[in-house]
Chains A and B, each alone.
Chain A
């Protein structure tokens, strides 16, 4: 069977994805450097301690702009349908590769949709707490202490999601990562992972 290629992400979608992805990794690395003295050497990614501290908020600005575009181009596809709720209930089957018991997904499965909403919510927490921490002289110490807590909690949530996101997008499901590189996936992949979308794409 010829394994045709399907266009999954446009050039613009891939650019936006990688702007958010690269900035988030830089922010996570330098953020963890500020949170954990043992990881302080990660500040070298942005030129050492003082430089990393000066650049972290600006990289954050690029991240937030990227998130804004990402939300704008994807939000319409991300509302959860009835199938999605059944998918979430069957997430154990998904995790154990029991694909027979995983409700068929459309262009995005419920896990991807949840990732989108959670990252969107975290971006708001990062933005508010980050701006306050950027200009500490303008706010009370007590408020800034809570902002540090919020900023770290969001980092932890985002970091955990990133681990799962990268794992699923690369070694767990071969053939997935190319969707964010040249934008295509194979028909075999599409039919297995997103049968609803495959059906739409192949409908005469």
Chain B
């Protein structure tokens, strides 16, 4: 696909919500399919990810699990989570390949305030451009899968970029390339969905009644999908059951921002209009509004001042707080 790096969406721009591809024909998109049942937990994909993306080693310590790291980090974009769960009285490793799912509707991109810091290519890959990142971490709050990680030293966020530099050159991502059991497949989204259906069928024929494809509709589908043997136990895989790209507070925020822009704009115009109608207040010598032709009424406080006449008011006696007369 020659247009693999054609940009589809750009953060903090009108194109964030109206994909450029809506304006012209879109090519096929890529997808990664992770067959969790076929994973043997070798973590070769983790190593390949670190090597290809030059992410460096983080010292790890045994915390009572076969899992390599406790969590994702700016230097660990891919983590195989070894969730130990009892299924039908047996211990099961419900392994989850924890990395960016490359949502069709990316919550991170919608939440990002920095123009061009997050882009989505027409091929479906969601990528961070660190040079445009301001380090606000709004993407972290916008991601329904808790994927982006903030680097306190560089003040930038990072995550899996689906080896966009390999994909651009016609290669599969490093994790796909290295997987010894073909648990990770790579191809067009269309082909991967078909393959996923076949894998689910196979699993179901082997007794995994609840086997399912994880391609959540709340984010418009993802470009990394899972074949989940126990589709009824998504939370045991650390997979959100109902992720969404536009949760209630963010939808409300978007609406309020639109209303707010008009309110503030009309607020400025409103006071300028008021100024044109009423102008600067002019006070006569007595402190009365010269433009107020209705004259002082009973509710006016002017009577409190001793003896103010219209033209020949004697100065009120100087009080303790009164400053010296103007020169």
CA distance A36 to B7 in the complex (A): 21
* Interchain CB contact under 8 A, B315 and A184: no
A27 CB to closest chain B CB (Å) equals: 14
Whether a CB of chain A sits under 8 angstroms from the CB of B169 is: no
Q: Assuming A171-B280, A188-B283, is B271 touching A99 (CB within 8 A)? A: no
A90 to B301, CA, bound (A): 14
A50, A99, A164: most-surrounded residue (chain B CB, <10 A):
A99
Given A53-B135, A148-B253, A191-B287, A97:B278 Cβ within 8 A: yes
Once the chains are docked, how many angstroms separate the CA of A128 from the CA of B61? 36
Q: Are B271 and A163 in contact (CB under 8 A)?
A: yes
Cα A36 to Cα B326 in complex, Å, equals 48
Cβ of A112 within 8 Å of any chain B Cβ, yes or no, is: no
Interface status of A72 (Cβ within 8 A of chain B): no
Closest A residue to B312 using CB positions: A1
B281 touches A173 (CB 8 A): yes
Residues of A within 8 A of B257 (CB): 35-36, 152
Q: Which residue of B lies closest to A174 (CB)?
A: B280
Is A156's CB under 8 angstroms from B134's CB? Answer: no
Q: Which of B133, B141, B263, B305 contacts A156 (CB 8 A)?
A: B263
Whether A49 and B134, one on each chain, are in contact in the complex, defined by CB atoms closer than 8 angstroms, is yes
Contact of B113 among A5, A37, A146 (CB under 8 A): A37
Contact B299–A103 (Cβ < 8 Å):
yes
Least distance between B79 CB and chain A CB atoms (Å): 17
- Could you mark each residue 245-272 of chain B with 1 if its beta carbon is under 8 Å from any beta carbon of chain A, else 0? 0010110110011001101100110110
Fill in one digit per residue for B1-45: 1 if any A CB lies within 8 Å of its CB, else 0: 000000000001100000000000000000000000000000000
Of all chain B residues, the one with the shortest Cβ separation from A151 is B253
A34-B113, A104-B300 known; A152-B278 Cβ under 8 A: no
Provide the residues of chain B in CB contact with A190, threshold 8 Å.
287
Nearest CB in chain B to that of A186: its residue: B326
CB <8 Å contact, B264 and A141? no
Known contacts being A5-B326, A37-B115, is A156 close to B299, with CB within 8 Å? no
- Chain A 170-189 residues near chain B, CB threshold 8 A: 171-175, 184, 186-189
Q: Is the interface of A mostly helix, strand, loop or mixed?
A: helix
Contacts of A33 in B (CB 8 A): 113
Find residues 20-37 in chain A having any chain B CB closer than 8 Å to their own CB. 33-37
* Chain B residues in 8 Å Cβ range of A54: 135, 155
How many chain B residues sit at the interface, stated as a range, is 35 or more
Instruction: Chain A residues near B288: list those with CB within 8 A.
Output: 99, 192
Residue from B249, B270, B319 within 8 A of A203 (CB atoms): B319
Q: Is the CB of B302 within 8 A of A191?
A: yes
Cα A153 to Cα B304 in complex, Å, equals 42
By a CB distance below 8 angstroms, the chain B residues around A184 are 323
- Map CB proximity to A onto B128-172 as digits: 1 under 8 Å, 0 otherwise: 000011111110111110100010000100000000000000000
Q: A104-B300, A149-B256 are in contact. Are A2 and B325 (CB under 8 A)?
A: yes
Residues of chain A within 8 A (CB-CB) of B297 are 100-101
CB-based contact B275/A199 at 8 Å:
no
Report yes or no: B301 in contact with A196, Cβ–Cβ below 8 A.
Answer: yes
Contact with B along A145-169 (1 / 0, CB 8 A): 1101100110110011001100100
B155 to chain A, nearest CB (A): 6
Contact B300 A100 (CB under 8 A): yes
Tell me the minimal C-beta distance from B30 to chain A in angstroms: 27
Min CB distance A3 to B, Å, is: 6
Question: A12 at interface (Cβ–Cβ under 8 A)?
Answer: no
Please judge, given known A-B contacts A101-B299, A172-B274, A188-B283, whether A153 and B256 are in contact too, CB under 8 Å: yes
Contact B250 A145 (CB under 8 A): yes
List which A134-148 residues lie within 8 A (CB) of chain B. 136-137, 141-142, 144-146, 148
B292 at the interface (CB under 8 A from A): yes
* Chain A residues near B206 (CB-CB < 8 A): none
Q: Does A6 count as interface, using CB distance less than 8 angstroms?
A: yes
15 contacts across the A-B interface (CB closer than 8 A): A2-B326, A4-B324, A5-B323, A40-B12, A95-B274, A97-B278, A100-B299, A101-B299, A145-B142, A145-B253, A149-B256, A195-B300, A195-B305, A202-B317, A203-B319
